[in-house]
Structure 1
Amino acid sequence: MVDVHIPDCILHNILDRLPTKDLARFKCVSKHWSRLIIDPYFLKFGSRRMILLIAAGSPLHVVDPDDTSNLMFKLRFPFGNPKSKDVKCLGIFNGIAILVFKAYCVDNKSTYIRTILYNPFTAAYELVPDPHSECLNINHIYGFGYGATPDDLKIIRFSDRKPRRTESCRTFDVFSFKSNSWNRSTNKIRNVKYTSDVGTFLNGYLHWIVYKRSELMIMALNVDSMALSDIPLPHYNYKKGRLGTLDGCLCIADIHGTQLVVSVMKEQGVWSNRYLGASLFNKFFVVSILDGGGILMMDFSNKFIIYNTLESSNEVMKKFSGYIKCVRGLTGVEYMVSGASPSDLFAL
């Protein structure tokens, strides 16, 4: 059989029409197809937006909001079967997910923690150097963001152990992508109780909902100066609320009765509430707040929907077929498909 040459421009046109799941599979057709598919220009031209779903002890899943079949699909975990692994996503930069996982090694009966940079589309990954660790049996709180400029990427990590009586503050570790190293910050984090393991990044600050002297508030950390500040929460019970961003503003969303309540902070410490009523909201809980005004929610049967808060209609929803066995620590992170190498984050 004579080989048939298809011009790249025609191949691009064909590949651009495929759902992202099929596009990832077609990388195996040939080396030439693989190079075309992960070409930065091709992926940027297509602007494929995806949602990465992460839950402890479950495989990584991906949702393609633009796929008409609305199917979730599993990703190959960088280090084999994630069973018994506690996985967190600190954030995504240029299509690269920053993942932290804790797992138990049966061979030597020890716990280990790994931080990796992972491209969900290409499956390429890169290990981040291990920090000088405290006891691995304690939990850690994380954040990922940058300071004055986007080329100053940092990972923040501090322990969530119960403080000693003599401690009012504790130090924390900072990983700099510029120097490819960890350092112990000279600043200190107050002893507070955190409601989530990962901070929300916006405009140079990382944010966590915390209990401070039995009062619920937001703790903000300036990623550049490492200075701390407090932000009052809106007058609502947000014990299970999810922090996120909408239109470049910090926001928090939660289900109250049959209402989805979204509070947006357009000015420092000033919140405006939106009450989105729908009879089915009492069956759901908020997983995450997506870019573009979408809120990802899951019902008691582990089925997902995206509610679009910016549409004129109050009930513009999209349902997805799929199932996640374990929902402990479930989060969803939106990202743009990229062919970037994880090592690129060290060379910004």
Structure 2
Amino acid sequence: MKNARWPCISDDLIAYRILPCLPTKDLVRLQCVSKSWRSLILNDPYFARLQVAHARSRPALLVITDKPEPSLYTADPNSVGFPKLCKQFDDQRYWHPPKIMASCKGIICVSLVSLSWDRMLLYVGNPVLNNWILLPPPFDDDPIVSIGLAVNEMESGVGYKLAVPFRRYDSDELVMEVSFKVLASAKGSWEISKEKVLTYSSPFWSFRYVTNVEGTLFWEHHEKAIWFDAKEERCGTLSLPSQFKYCKHRLGEWNGHLSFMTTENGEISIWSWNKSCWSKKLLLTIEAVARENFHFFASLGLRMNLRNRKSESLEAILRRSTVDILTFAANFIIFEVNEKRICYDAITGKAWRISKNSINRKSGLSYVNSLLKLTNTRVAE
């Protein structure tokens, strides 16, 4: 009897075709297999680029909450996540738990108020690898409201830029000048960008929520979006669709594009920017979502009319329901129907209920688990 011959898989095929497709949690464990695998997983920049490209094909929705840890919504909870942030900063005594400020390609920016230093500390790093860099604060006295983060993959390693918008002065009663403080990983210090934007003045001028689309940062302000290109360090304004004046709306990222979501009469419309104009890419009705998840919605809203003893249809309930968008990113939408909060996955069509305490309004970010390690950095003194 002849011995069976098993097919031989080359080392390069395993290293660059199979391993990058595995979940990041499994890759962290597999680094213990051998020294060559550990060097490949942790130190090979080409492997890291392949891994993050695969992870970005199915990102998760990271929602910042009042709790110490954020919430992650994903199609595969077993493959996306990171250790608790509170445990990663045990060497620091702080007043408040670490708060996620920005996210890009698996790198996040975290702020916490130090108990010993009596000031806000700013960190940037990869929570999966527990690799953090302490940064100087952009402002000495004013609190940090919004920070944009852009991560750049280069042949020499991985760099990043942080940008914070601030109002320099009002040129008159109607117009104000907005500039940016920028920190580049190669320099390690904050500098004021030479670029500036003139926009409408408002007592509510702070740009609290930022959207990152391929390295360009966007903040909504009145009828426009103020943008900052982190790579070229250019900035400007972008007019929003006129529909926002008449209905509830939200600016964010959808399917890799800057998008604008509106809701009216139980319909959710998604507009995408295609470099020259806004165009409607998706029209989603709550009734269509309910048909895909009939049993789930029926358990939430089906009621009995006691007068005529007839069951009221689910469609009739939804038609008169109020729909409010809370946040969206990474092909997930979180909205509220009749004070019930629901997460909807636009790819699979599945919906599920979430706790009211698990989300703050307009606080969703796109997130992926990656093995990217920041390089060319300087740690704050």
Q: Tell me the TM-score normalised to structure 2 length.
A: 0.62
Match of 1:200 among 211, 214, 224: 211
Q: 1:59 to 1:31 in 2, by over 3 A?
A: farther
- Contact 2:150-2:161 at 8 Å conserved across structures: yes
Q: What is aligned with 2:280? A: 272
Residue 140 of structure 1 pairs with residue 152 of structure 2:
no
- Contact 1:70-1:320 at 8 Å conserved across structures: no
Q: Give the Å deviation of 1:208.
A: 1.6
- Contact 1:156-1:173 at 8 Å conserved across structures: yes
Q: Give the Å deviation of 1:50.
A: 4.5
Match of 2:111 among 101, 111, 124: 101
Matches within 5 A, 1:283-322: 285-290=325-330, 294-297=331-334, 299=336, 304-308=343-347, 316-319=348-351
Q: Secondary structure at the match of 1:172?
A: strand
Q: Secondary structure at the match of 1:66?
A: coil
- Contact 2:225-2:238 at 8 Å conserved across structures: yes
Considering fraction of residues, name the structure with more helix. Answer: 2
Q: 1:267 to 1:44 in 2, by over 3 A?
A: closer
Give the paired residue count.
315
Q: 1:70 to 1:228 in 2, by over 3 A?
A: closer
Q: What is aligned with 2:104? A: 92
Aligned sequence identity (%)? 14
Q: Secondary structure at the match of 2:85?
A: coil
Residue 158 of structure 1 pairs with residue 165 of structure 2:
yes
Q: Give the Å deviation of 1:297.
A: 1.8
Distance 1:189 1:83 in 2: 35
| Partner amino acid, structure 2, of 1:145 | A
| Partner amino acid, structure 1, of 2:345 | I
Q: 1:50 to 1:36 in 2, by over 3 A?
A: farther
Residue 76 of structure 1 pairs with residue 85 of structure 2:
yes
Q: 1:209 to 1:262 in 2, by over 3 A?
A: same
Residue 233 of structure 1 pairs with residue 241 of structure 2:
yes
| Partner amino acid, structure 1, of 2:328 | S
Q: Secondary structure at the match of 2:218?
A: strand
Q: 1:71 to 1:219 in 2, by over 3 A?
A: closer
**Farther-moved stretch of structure 1 (256-265 vs 225-234):** 225-234
| Partner amino acid, structure 2, of 1:337 | N
- Contact 2:249-2:325 at 8 Å conserved across structures: no
Q: Tell me the TM-score normalised to structure 1 length.
A: 0.67
- Contact 1:62-1:72 at 8 Å conserved across structures: yes
| Partner amino acid, structure 1, of 2:224 | M
Distance 1:72 1:322 in 2: 18
Match of 2:65 among 47, 55, 67: 55
Gaps of 5+ in 1: 1-6, 309-315
- Contact 1:288-1:296 at 8 Å conserved across structures: yes
Q: Secondary structure at the match of 1:235?
A: helix
- Contact 2:267-2:286 at 8 Å conserved across structures: yes
Q: What is aligned with 1:44? A: 50
Q: Give the Å deviation of 1:303.
A: 5.5
Q: 1:271 to 1:345 in 2, by over 3 A?
A: farther
Gaps of 5+ in 2: 1-8, 291-317
| Partner amino acid, structure 2, of 1:287 | T
